[in-house]
Structure 1
Amino acid sequence: MTISAKTSTVENAPPAIDASTLKGWEEQHDDLMIIDVRSGAEFDSLHIRGSYHVPLAMLGEHTEEFAAKMGTRVVLVCQSGNRAEQARKRLDSVGLVGASVLSGGVPGYAAAGGDVVRGRSAWAMERQVRMTAGSLVLASIVAGRFVSPKLRLVAGGIGAGLTYSATTNSCAMGNVLSRMPWNKSSNDPTAHQALQSLGARE
């Protein structure tokens, strides 16, 4: 099943845009819809004013429903651009072609003088992944030395997972971490609420 043609995004829209282009679009296009696919804690910490919060995991579970609610000019944003690109590919697979990804993510947009909303600081998901992977590798090496050599296999597993992540431009560890309590927000929308919010623009 694919979405109807009327909800396809702007033809020939670039797959990646920079902060200055997005700022120009905000001034020139009333049909612009900015979709932030980060975790709730990241969104609360810093987000583009007027953007819609649709976490990547939620978008993945309800791709067709969200695609049907999105407008004609869609920009996907995250911390750096990686998760937004994953979201773009998922939307493209159900017929929403032409969505753009913000290069440099929300921090880059803020640094360029874009209009953002700031809140309580939180670790970005990429930083959490590096900390978790590094800690697991270090712990497995120490445990392999003092407990059992077999525990060193954990480090190999982490390395294989990171290699797969880079090859496929996905991150299973990031998906797991995004569901942890510290990455949630009291303002996190349910899928129904997020869909209603997007539907209000139709």
Structure 2
Amino acid sequence: MTTPLTLGTDQAHARLHELTVIDVRTPGEYASGHLPGALNIPLDRIRRALPEIRHAAVRGEVLLVCASGARSENAGRVLAEHGVPTATLAGGTHAWAAAGHDLRRPAVRDTRAGWSMERQVRFTAGTAVLLGLLLGLLVHPAFQVLSAGVAGGLVLSALTDTCGMALLLARLPHNRPRPADLAATLAALRRH
């Protein structure tokens, strides 16, 4: 098993021309801004793309990217379990943009309006808490368990640095790549 490396934003920027960059965020997040030349393979599709990523890693270093670094580290662990060496971008696209580096966005006609996964989680959690409180007041106090469950999930998410709600939301149609998108991305990765 290989140990994933971490590259800082300036290191990655200087070596961008020699790296195969894989953005593991949802297609909507990817469309909101990604590193130049990054290919989008959502985290839940990493295992499906394993042969192509392994092939790219043989030709050169693979850099995994997400919004903050947590999902790319998870992807790096999955790939390391399969003997594929990778590096992750410290701080993700947030740190990249904060360092003053460009993010690319597809042409308007190629994007779907979308929110970042973090924003989707905040909206969904807030809505569920409010719904639980409202139903608890108007219908039956037992509905407040919904609010308590969401609060407990948020605490667990913070403690484990994982997010079950994000994994569920990533499966919604607006966050999933179209089958042709993943196929085209994998074909581009084979050529890369």
Provide TM-score, normalisation by structure 1: 0.79
Percent of pairs identical after alignment?
32
After superposition, the CA RMSD in angstroms is 2.6
Distance in 2 (alpha carbons) for counterparts of 1:167 and 1:95:
28
The answer for the alignment partner of 1:161 in structure 2 is 153
What secondary structure, in the 3-state scheme, does the structure 2 residue paired with 1:117 have?
coil
Residue 193 (1) aligns with residue 181 (2):
no
Unaligned runs of 5+ in 2: none
Deviation, 1:131, is: 1.4
Alpha-carbon distance change, 116 to 54 in structure 1, aligned in 2, over 3 angstroms = same
Residue 94 (1) aligns with residue 82 (2):
yes
Deviation, 1:103, is: 2.1
Paired residues, number: 185
Distance in 2 (alpha carbons) for counterparts of 1:196 and 1:117:
20
Tell me which amino acid in the other structure corresponds to 2:188.
Answer: S
After the TM superposition, which segments of 4 or more aligned residues of structure 1 sit over 3 Å from their partners?
119-122, 184-188
Deviation, 1:50, is: 0.8
Query: Alignment partner for residue 107 of structure 1, among 88, 94, 115?
Result: 94
Matched-pair contact (CA < 8 Å) for 1:86–1:169: no
Deviation, 1:186, is: 6.1
Alpha-carbon distance change, 166 to 94 in structure 1, aligned in 2, over 3 angstroms = farther
Query: Alignment partner for residue 48 of structure 2, among 59, 62, 68?
Result: 62
Provide TM-score, normalisation by structure 2: 0.82
Tell me which amino acid in the other structure corresponds to 1:197.
Answer: A
Matched-pair contact (CA < 8 Å) for 1:40–1:187: no
Distance in 2 (alpha carbons) for counterparts of 1:91 and 1:67:
9
Tell me which amino acid in the other structure corresponds to 1:84.
Answer: S
What secondary structure, in the 3-state scheme, does the structure 2 residue paired with 1:118 have?
coil
Query: Alignment partner for residue 49 of structure 1, among 30, 36, 52?
Result: 36
Deviation, 1:132, is: 0.8
Distance in 1 (alpha carbons) for counterparts of 2:118 and 2:23:
15
Alpha-carbon distance change, 51 to 188 in structure 1, aligned in 2, over 3 angstroms = farther
- 1:93-115 deviations in Å (ceiling 9; x for gaps): 22224x22212222331332324
Distance in 2 (alpha carbons) for counterparts of 1:171 and 1:105:
17
Matched-pair contact (CA < 8 Å) for 2:53–2:189: no
Matched-pair contact (CA < 8 Å) for 2:23–2:40: yes
